[in-house]
Amino acid sequence: MFSSKSNIQAILSDFHIDRMMRYSHFAPRLYNLCRSLGFEAGNIMPSRAFCSDESQGFPTILIAKHFGAFPFDHGRAGGIVATARHGPHAHHGKDLVIIHASHVGYDPDTQTFGHYCRLQTTDNEKSTTCGKVGHVIEWYRDEYSFAQNNIRVGYHDDIPSLTIDNQLLDNKRDQGLILELEKMVSLENDQPKLLRTLSTSRVYEASPSFFSSFKSEDWPKGKQTKVKHHLGPDFFHFRRHLKEHDQLEKNLFNPMPWIVTAPSPILLAAQFNTQAEFDRTYRTIVKEREYSDKRLLFISCLNIDISPKEGQLFPLTKCIPWAAYIHNVNGDSRILEQAELVELLMQQSSENPDAINLETAIQQMIDASEIKIAP
């Protein structure tokens, strides 16, 4: 999906995170959209493709409330769709809905993404959310931090220069952050222009374009300073032995330079994963024979888990719809891109006359006559 740096830039600009709505509005609107497409009340089998995080429980409850059935489970940790479960899902309902979402925590006190308050911990601690996404990008963030701290800008005999640690200059490494050195230093006979060799690093003449991207105070005379955030995504890429079974890391690998340099890395990672999983899952759905004669709606979203305040049991989850695929029983199908999808959802009522009362439904089970199971 992500084949070049120019493609990644375009993908970034096409995802609008401001098109969000409270999940308590999203769930009934999605149900009403399904009904407007001919889905039959009482015969819709929803499926959730969420991370296993407890913060996704509130959206799951709302799906059950509005669709009248506890959703089938299509999800794996990190917001990956278990595409091998399409067939079983198809057997559980006449009309079918798959709701996929990556998720990211949001702390309203600090107005930052990436953490969520865990109410069931001893001290209501705030931890990385999504934890799986955080774990995947941790190695890359450490590699990037090393590069930020071990590339220094300064002057050598009044020549703007870069002092670069030898580890970062070893292009034979099979894993690590690999500099695109030709974009950072001047070339002489197609080779980096070396000014000095030190014990653990080398000093190169900075390229005019790289030097001009700095403010004068960020490239001071008389001392060296760390490159810091000026080491942008255009100046490096990663090498990594990817695990065959880790779909999340595969989804995030190519855009990782943008993720680790972003103000909110986990937010951007969740966005990229939402986009990649819609594309990957869509291609498995259109090939699934068990879905061929069914009504089906598949939607991918980014869930934002706003940490609960005192007295709240659940997050104030917000949903950012990304794209949807609709398949009808006659074989017609179409894809809804973000703008059209959000517009269609906003046209639907946030009131659902078919919504079930969960407390009443549970009480009916409590009050039901005992059924003895024969041994």
Under 8 Å CB-to-CB from 374, ≥6 apart: which residues? none
| Residue 180 pLDDT | 96
Structure tokens at 123: 């001290």
Q: Are 51 and 158 found together in one domain?
A: no
- pLDDT computed for residue 297 by the predictor: 98
Is residue 67 in some structural domain?
A: yes
pLDDT on residue 127: 84
Let me know: does 130 contact 78? Beta carbons within 8 Å: yes
CB 137 within 8 A of CB 211: no
Query: How confident is the model at residue 244, as a pLDDT?
Result: 82
Assess if residue 158 is contained within a domain.
yes
Q: Are residues 226 and 319 in the same domain?
A: no
Rg (CA), the chain: 25
Regarding whether 232 and 185 lie in a shared domain, the answer is yes
Give the structural domain span for 71. 5-131+244-352
Indicate if 346 and 248 belong to the same structural domain: yes
Among 189, 211, 239, the domain-final residue is: 239
Report the number of secondary-structure helices (H) and strands (E) in the chain. Answer: 12, 21
Residues 44 and 59 in one domain: yes
Is the domain of 249 the same as that of 224? no
Structure confidence at residue 126 (pLDDT)? 84
Q: For the chain, how many structural domains are there in total?
A: 2
| Domain C-terminal end among 239, 257, 283 | 239
- What does the DSSP 8-state code read for residue 56? G
Looking at the fold, whether 255 and 342 belong to one and the same domain comes out as yes
Residues 260, 218, single domain; the answer is: no
- Is 368 a domain residue? no
> What is d(CA 154, CA 230) in angstroms, rounded to the nearest whole number?
14
The one-digit pLDDT tens for each residue of the chain (375 residues) are: 555 566 787 777 889 999 999 999 999 999 999 999 999 999 999 999 999 999 999 999 999 999 999 999 999 999 999 999 999 999 999 999 999 999 999 998 899 999 888 878 888 888 888 999 999 999 999 999 999 999 999 999 999 999 999 999 998 999 999 999 999 999 999 999 999 999 999 999 999 999 999 999 999 998 999 999 999 999 999 999 998 889 999 999 999 999 999 999 999 999 999 999 999 999 999 999 999 999 999 999 999 999 888 788 888 999 999 999 999 998 899 999 999 999 999 999 999 999 999 999 999 999 999 988 988
Q: Tell me: do 14 and 118 sit in the same domain.
A: yes
In a domain? residue 371 = no
Q: Are residues 124 and 252 in the same domain?
A: yes
Place of tokens 């059950």: 64
